[in-house]
Amino acid sequence: MSTPRDQFIDVSGLKLHYLEWGEPGGEPIILLHGFLDQCNSWRPLVNLLEDRVPQTPWIIAPDCRGHGDSGWVGAGGYYHFPDYVFDLHCIIQSLSAVKCKLVGHSMGGTISLNYAGTFPERMTKLALIEGIGPAGMQFSQAPLRMRQWITEVRARGRHHFREYGSAEAGARQLQLTNPRLTDATALDLARSGMRQIPNGKWTWKFDPLHRSTSPQPFYAEQAAEFFSRIQCPVLIVDGKQSPQRQRSEKQQRLAALKNKQFAEIEDSGHMVHQDNPAALAELLAAFFSD
């Protein structure tokens, strides 16, 4: 079990943080977390994955902008999916990696599929964990969604902080959201994902702007165009008990993929890498070595 190193890069003036395991060389495995999550969420999985591959892999786990220890956008800015894809490309470029393997959970899966469709020649393997993109929307929804975004940003902006008396209180909140989290894991995530503010209270590190509705709808037809350009093998992973598993449009969306396989992880909901990291590590190790 290797110790991760904290690394930072500058992306157009924005500080991005990532954890790095193993020694640089060859193809890195890049792990992209989900919405309001953080790179430290991958630690249990990485510890198990390192035991299941022939030699210690080179693993990179970024904090997406506005999450964890990465910077927030400046005043007047916002967060859009093209920004996340741009950040991922800058990280890969900074690693001098010609090709890589991508693992994306939830929002990280959407970032990954967009990147893999944009730069298919850079991908050797892609694993999407509960990460095939949000439910598809119609063009007719765009104007009302834009209006809702403007209303929420003007009304709340970055002032929608939820404060806690301690990191332990934050850990209990995480367990309310995901009851499968152990006490130890929840506390680890709270301690790495929270910061203490001047009044002595604790709050999450992510930018509160994320709590507002994004102005850009997700269009399934557009996602299919990215899927159709992906050339590498793709592993689609669902949690057995996840409500996402039964989405009606799933098969239609994934039909555009040329080389795909499916897997379900027992004893897990949407947060597969937290709920059953051992089973996920076995699955990924086999997928990467195939």
Sheet bearing 123-129, strands edge to edge:
5-11, 14-21, 59-62, 29-32, 100-105, 123-129, 234-239, 260-265
The helix/strand/coil state of 88 is helix
As a whole number of Å, the CA-based R_g of the chain is 18
For position 157, what pLDDT does the model report? 87
Pick from 289, 274, 280: which is nearest to 44 by CA?
274
Total residue length of the chain: 290
Q: For the structural domain made of 5-136+219-289, what CATH number should be given?
A: 3.40.50.1820
CA distance 56 to 51: 8
For position 87, what pLDDT does the model report? 98
Task: Write the pLDDT tens digit of every residue in 173-209.
Answer: 999 999 999 999 999 999 999 999 999 999 999 999 9
Task: Write the pLDDT tens digit of every residue in 79-96.
Answer: 999 999 999 999 999 999
- 21 near 93, Cβ under 8 Å? no
Collect the ranges in the chain with pLDDT lower than 70. 1
- 14 backbone dihedrals φ, ψ, rounded to 5°: -100, 130
CA distance 219 to 162: 31
Which residues, listed in sequence order, are joined to residue 248 by a DSSP beta bridge?
none
Q: Where are the domains of the chain?
A: 5-136+219-289
Whole-prediction pTM value? Answer: 0.96
| DSSP state, residue 243 | G
Q: Find where tokens 């994934």 sit.
A: 254
For position 252, what pLDDT does the model report? 81
For position 22, what pLDDT does the model report? 93
